[in-house]
A and B are shown apart, each in its own frame.
Chain A
Amino acid sequence: MANIAAKRVKREIKEVMKSEEIMGGAFKLELINNSWTELQGEITGPPDTPYESGKFLLEIKVPETYPFNPPKIRFITKIWHPNVSSVTGAICLDILKDQWAAALTLRTVLLSIQALLSEAEPDDPQDAVVARQYKEYPSIFAMTATHWTNVYAEGKKAIVDYNRRVQVLLEMGVEEHQARVALSTHNWNLEVATEELFS
């Protein structure tokens, strides 16, 4: 790995360790291997959003050309958000693509991702299904996102009704995540979801 990349990642981790007290545990950052190329981040869902109190794991891959090119980041934890793929966890965020600037750090990028959770950009979606729901049925979107946060990210708020509908499909022998995706996609209409699953 290029020297400058490793050196910068080292410095950045040091910086994050210091800032962590200040951030009050808003995110974490740790190394996966010793070559400074792979890290794991964790961000806490911002308050007053459907993601509140959720813990979202992020896979961070630092390219050899860092910091001249952005790190590759995706969600490991499943999340229901217009700018994050509900399948792969890929993030649509301009600073991770063409708006990257070499002075940005892993810390500022994690903060940006956290900010993205507070303020989605449905007009520049990564997941079209989620983005459509966000625009057309904002209340269903908020509940779905809360439900996913509860199930996958240790969020504290459970949506009892949605749990029940997933349970119905589970009893029909549908795999749990598959059932949740079908219901989320069809705005929790049990009939439509069942139809899709068994067609």
Chain B
Amino acid sequence: MAETSEARASPSAPGGDAGGEDDKPDERMLECNICLDTARDAVVSMCGHLFCWPCLHQWLETRPSRQVCPVCKAAISRDKVIPLYGRGNTKQEDPRNKVPPRPAGQRTEPENNGGFPGFGFGEGFHMSFGIGAFPFGVFTSTFNFGDPRPSAAPRGTAQYEEEQFLSKIFLWVAILFVLWLIFA
């Protein structure tokens, strides 16, 4: 590294291969060890290696049986990384709580998909429409207390929107049915 190091008068620059026009050693310090870009949603492993959380997550997903640090091969796991919060970003959300982008297909729950196709509107929507116990049956369709249901789709996803929409439709159907019973 001594032979043609351009006279940039910075003898302190460590690591011979740094030193291009745009890669200052300071910035390279904050590069993710997987994508080699500046780390976003940065996390650091117990062995001290920096990664983007989405990158590290994908690495852990790729080899579930061999969870090692991509740099030093020390044992590593989701729970043993520390998120880094710089001053810059205002909402200090744990990057591990965000759903990282995953190229592989998302796994869907097997329930609700068999036996009753007409009402298979995804998990989280249960309809009990009891005509026999008429005035009270209506309430069960909208107010389902105490009845353990599978967890609803997370807020913000397309499925969540769909479920909200469907539940509104059924609420209106129920109301119209009640009105029809009263006035007919």
**A positions within 8 Å CB-CB of B:** 2, 4, 7-8, 11-12, 14-15, 18-19, 21-22, 65, 67-69, 98-99, 101-105
Summed over the interface, the residue pairs from A and B with CB atoms below 8 Å come to a total of 49
A18 touches B19 (CB 8 A): yes
- Nearest Cβ distance between residue B39 and chain A, in whole angstroms? 13
B3 touches A68 (CB 8 A): no
Question: What chain A residues lie within 8 Å of B70 (beta carbons)?
Answer: 101-104
Question: What chain A residues lie within 8 Å of B3 (beta carbons)?
Answer: 21
A4 touches B35 (CB 8 A): yes
Tell me the residues in window 82-120 of chain B with beta carbons closer than 8 Å to chain A beta carbons: 103
Question: What chain A residues lie within 8 Å of B62 (beta carbons)?
Answer: 65, 68-69
A7–B34 Cα gap in the complex (Å)?
A: 11
Question: What chain B residues lie within 8 Å of A4 (beta carbons)?
Answer: 35, 55
User: Which of A8, A22, A65, A101 touches B36 (beta carbons < 8 Å)?
Assistant: A8
B36 touches A12 (CB 8 A): yes
CB closest chain-A residue, reference B1: A22
Question: What chain A residues lie within 8 Å of B68 (beta carbons)?
Answer: 101
A14–B62 Cα gap in the complex (Å)?
A: 27
Question: What chain B residues lie within 8 Å of A2 (beta carbons)?
Answer: 103
Tell me the residues in window 1-52 of chain B with beta carbons closer than 8 Å to chain A beta carbons: 1, 3-4, 16-17, 19-20, 33-37, 49
CB closest chain-B residue, reference A69: B62
A69–B103 Cα gap in the complex (Å)?
A: 14
B17 touches A102 (CB 8 A): no
| Residue B121 lies at the interface, judged by CB distance under 8 Å to chain A | no
Sample of 5 more A-B contacts, CB < 8 Å, known A18-B19, A21-B4, A101-B71: A4-B35, A69-B62, A101-B70, A102-B59, A103-B70
As a 0/1 sequence over residues 46 to 83 of chain B, the CB contacts with chain A under 8 angstroms (1 = contact) are 00010000010011001000101111010000000000
A103 touches B35 (CB 8 A): no
Asked if A68 meets B73 with Cβ closer than 8 Å, knowing A18-B17, A21-B4, A102-B34, the reply is no
A8–B32 Cα gap in the complex (Å)?
A: 11
- Nearest Cβ distance between residue B1 and chain A, in whole angstroms? 5
A104–B59 Cα gap in the complex (Å)?
A: 13
Q: List 6 A-B contacts (CB under 8 A).
A: A8-B35, A18-B20, A21-B3, A102-B33, A103-B33, A105-B36
A11 touches B4 (CB 8 A): no
User: Which of A8, A98, A99, A103 touches B71 (beta carbons < 8 Å)?
Assistant: A103
A67–B79 Cα gap in the complex (Å)?
A: 23
A67–B55 Cα gap in the complex (Å)?
A: 10
Asked if A22 meets B35 with Cβ closer than 8 Å, knowing A68-B58, A69-B62, A101-B68, the reply is no
A65–B59 Cα gap in the complex (Å)?
A: 10
Question: What chain B residues lie within 8 Å of A101 (beta carbons)?
Answer: 68-71, 73
- Nearest Cβ distance between residue A101 and chain B, in whole angstroms? 4
A67 touches B103 (CB 8 A): no
Question: What chain A residues lie within 8 Å of B71 (beta carbons)?
Answer: 101, 103
- Among B4, B36, B70, the most chain A Cβ lie within 10 Å of the Cβ of B36
Question: What chain A residues lie within 8 Å of B34 (beta carbons)?
Answer: 67-68, 102-103
- Nearest Cβ distance between residue A15 and chain B, in whole angstroms? 7
Question: What chain A residues lie within 8 Å of B59 (beta carbons)?
Answer: 68, 102
Question: What chain B residues lie within 8 Å of A22 (beta carbons)?
Answer: 1, 16-17
A18–B70 Cα gap in the complex (Å)?
A: 23
CB closest chain-A residue, reference B17: A19
A101–B3 Cα gap in the complex (Å)?
A: 32
Question: What chain A residues lie within 8 Å of B73 (beta carbons)?
Answer: 99, 101
A101–B49 Cα gap in the complex (Å)?
A: 13
CB closest chain-A residue, reference B35: A4
